[in-house]
């Protein structure tokens, strides 16, 4: 891979004065930035509600084009039962109007990947509207990751206002990140292959980027049995609950904490009543790994599971397995390390020192990193509580984080 545009010594990095000018621009327009955030937060976009996802994406598209103008390229990919993906591309700037097409085709873009779906169900806004209390801005999805969308828009606006040359900018919006990026993954992988760098403004780690993320394995494990009256004829039943309960310790034993591998049986349910031999039981398993070899080991072991004796010999019991090695682990690659070095230069210009963090959660950056492509993750809001009722971002972090993102868009 050619990393020349990220590593050559004569590559321009914005000066401290330019970065501070961008930061000041965002501070001066903070009211508008937060109003844009409110506008898209008010469009509820739960991951599994296709109608709301479509409406939310329409509103986000409208806001983006109102702020940045018509894109030179636009493509919407149907997600089926999942949220659609939308790709919007603007040429590098400043550029003469007659050079705009050439700028798009001849220059590699910088891509910002943002998901617009959230974990919050429809109706959440009725009990928890977006609100501000001092430096805290709360609301469903404000941190994870609707601010990242607004942040990208205003980073471009700040560069334009300052007359700073920047690369072509691609904004890629996906609608199923929170449930595994089933529809989004192929779009992300295809769209980022030509990018000089991909930026993922997921929530930061206290203002720091994330250079390592764990990979994931999901497993849905179901045991089918036979129901019977627990008092009158228990011998006619085959308990799915009993069989699964014995299997769970075997699943948990796949963990290897010394290698960063954790296993969590998040839900376990089954049966229909106290006095009924359970005809069905199921559990949902979440595995986190730091290395690809561990992901393969655990996924293979889960796929090879069989019921323990004496349940295995009971032909009335059947084990059903669905195993998905959902996201590969994200670890530093030469391409991403070069991008991180550039980011560190920009942070220094703002008087900040970078200390990238490892986190257990995964994101769409995992897919990009696995391809060996340059990607920077965790460039978004400073805050706490993603997926929780105390989800919030700090308003004081809006301008500094946006200035840093803008620096990576600049040439």
pLDDT digits (tens, 9 = 90+) for 195-246: 999 999 999 999 999 999 999 999 999 999 999 999 999 999 999 999 999 9
Q: Of 327, 342, 367, which residue is a domain's last?
A: 327
Query: How many Å apart are CA 114 and CA 199, to the nearest integer?
Result: 9
b/e burial code for range 72-84 (CB count within 10 A of at least 16 → b): eeeeebebeebbb
Task: Give the per-residue pLDDT at 93.
Answer: 79
Task: Give the per-residue pLDDT at 6.
Answer: 56
E strand map for 237-378: 262-270, 276-277, 280-289, 318-327, 357-359, 375-377
pLDDT at 358 over 50: yes
> Does residue 177 carry a catalytic annotation?
yes
Regarding whether 360 and 306 lie in a shared domain, the answer is: no
Kindly report, residue by residue over 239-274, the tens digit of the pLDDT. Answer: 999 999 999 999 999 999 999 999 999 999 999 999
Task: Give the per-residue pLDDT at 99.
Answer: 47
Regarding whether 395 and 292 lie in a shared domain, the answer is: no
Regarding whether 290 and 248 lie in a shared domain, the answer is: yes
Kindly report, residue by residue over 392-403, the tens digit of the pLDDT. Answer: 999 999 999 999
Regarding whether 42 and 167 lie in a shared domain, the answer is: yes
- The lowest-confidence range among 51-60, 90-99, 361-370 is 90-99
Indicate which residue of 177, 211, 377, 391 is catalytic. 177
Kindly report, residue by residue over 122-134, the tens digit of the pLDDT. Answer: 999 999 999 999 9
Higher confidence at residue 258 or residue 103? Answer: 258
Q: Using CA atoms in the order 92, 353, 144, 159, what is the torsion angle rounded to 10 degrees?
A: -20
Regarding whether 219 and 157 lie in a shared domain, the answer is: no
Q: What is the mean pLDDT of the chain?
A: 94
> Cα–Cα distances in Å, from 8 out to 166, 375, 411?
17, 18, 12
Indicate which residue of 36, 44, 84, 117 is catalytic. 117
Instruction: Kindly report the CATH number assigned to the domain that includes residue 177.
Output: 3.40.630.10
Task: Give the per-residue pLDDT at 319.
Answer: 98
pLDDT at 9 over 90: no
Query: How many Å apart are CA 300 and CA 198, to the nearest integer?
Result: 31
Q: Of 327, 350, 378, which residue is a domain's last?
A: 327
Asked whether 408 and 342 are in contact (CB, 8 A), the reply is: yes
Regarding whether 336 and 323 lie in a shared domain, the answer is: no
Regarding whether 353 and 401 lie in a shared domain, the answer is: yes
Regarding whether 56 and 79 lie in a shared domain, the answer is: yes
| Across 161-171, average pLDDT | 96
Q: Give 118's contacts (C-beta < 8 A, 6+ positions apart).
A: 44, 45, 46, 47, 140, 141, 144, 146, 178
Asked whether 60 and 40 are in contact (CB, 8 A), the reply is: yes
Regarding whether 401 and 298 lie in a shared domain, the answer is: no
Task: Give the per-residue pLDDT at 94.
Answer: 64
pLDDT at 1 over 80: no
Task: Give the per-residue pLDDT at 97.
Answer: 43
| Residues above pLDDT 90, as percent of the chain | 93
Task: Give the per-residue pLDDT at 175.
Answer: 98
Write the DSSP string, 107-153. Answer: SPPEEEEEE--BSPPTTHHHHS--EEETTEEE-TTIIIIIHHHHHHH
Regarding whether 62 and 128 lie in a shared domain, the answer is: yes
Regarding whether 148 and 128 lie in a shared domain, the answer is: yes
Quote the domain boundaries for residue 394: 4-213+329-409
Instruction: Kindly report the CATH number assigned to the domain that includes residue 262.
Output: 3.30.70.360
Task: Give the per-residue pLDDT at 4.
Answer: 53
| Across 9-18, average pLDDT | 76
Task: Give the per-residue pLDDT at 8.
Answer: 46
> Cα–Cα distances in Å, from 22 out to 161, 243, 250, 322, 341?
8, 61, 55, 49, 21
Task: Give the per-residue pLDDT at 156.
Answer: 98
Structural domain count of the chain? 2
- Strand, coil or helix: 90: strand
Regarding whether 229 and 303 lie in a shared domain, the answer is: yes
Taking the complete model, does pTM exceed 0.95, yes or no? no
Kindly report, residue by residue over 136-155, the tens digit of the pLDDT. Answer: 999 999 999 999 999 999 99
Q: Of 327, 343, 362, which residue is a domain's last?
A: 327
């Amino acid at each position: 891979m050619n990393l020349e545009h990220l590593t050559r010594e004569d590559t321009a990095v914005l000066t401290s004065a330019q970065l501070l000018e961008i930061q000041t621009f965002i501070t001066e327009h903070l009211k508008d930035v937060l109003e844009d955030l409110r506008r898209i937060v008010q469009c509820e976009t739960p991951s599994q509600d296709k109608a709301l996802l479509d409406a939310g994406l329409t509103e986000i598209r409208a806001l983006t084009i109102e702020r940045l103008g018509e894109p030179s390229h636009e493509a919407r990919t149907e997600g089926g039962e999942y949220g659609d993906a939308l790709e919007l591309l603007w040429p590098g700037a400043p550029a003469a109007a007659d050079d705009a097409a050439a700028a798009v085709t001849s220059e590699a873009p910088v891509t910002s990947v943002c998901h617009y779906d959230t974990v919050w169900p429809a109706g959440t806004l009725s009990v928890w509207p977006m609100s501000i209390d001092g430096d805290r801005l709360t609301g469903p999805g404000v941190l994870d990751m609707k601010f990242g969308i607004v942040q990208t828009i205003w980073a471009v606006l700040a560069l334009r206002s300052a007359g700073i040359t920047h690369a072509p900018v691609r904004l890629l919006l996906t609608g199923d990140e929170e449930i595994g990026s089933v529809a989004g993954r192929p779009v992300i992988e295809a769209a980022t292959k030509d990018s000089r760098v991909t930026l993922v403004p997921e929530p930061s780690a206290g203002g720091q980027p994330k250079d390592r993320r764990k990979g994931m394995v999901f497993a849905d494990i179901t045991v089918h049995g036979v129901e019977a009256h627990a008092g009158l004829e228990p011998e006619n039943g085959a308990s799915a609950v009993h069989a699964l309960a014995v299997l769970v310790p075997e699943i948990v034993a796949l963990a290897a904490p010394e290698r960063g591998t954790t296993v969590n049986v998040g839900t376990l349910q089954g049966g229909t009543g106290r006095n009924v031999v359970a005809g069905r039981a199921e559990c949902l398993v979440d595995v986190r790994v730091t290395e690809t070899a561990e992901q393969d080991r655990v996924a293979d072991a889960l796929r090879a599971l069989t019921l323990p004796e004496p349940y295995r010999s009971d032909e009335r019991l059947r084990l059903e397995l669905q195993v998905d090695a959902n996201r590969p682990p994200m670890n530093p690659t030469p391409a991403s390390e070069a991008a991180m070095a550039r980011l560190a230069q920009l942070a220094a210009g703002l008087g900040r020192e970078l200390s990238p963090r490892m986190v257990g959660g995964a994101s769409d950056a995992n897919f990009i990193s696995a391809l060996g492509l340059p990607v920077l993750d965790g460039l978004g809001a400073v805050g706490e509580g993603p997926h929780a009722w105390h989800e919030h971002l700090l308003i004081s972090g809006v301008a500094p984080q946006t200035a840093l993102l803008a620096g990576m868009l600049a040439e």
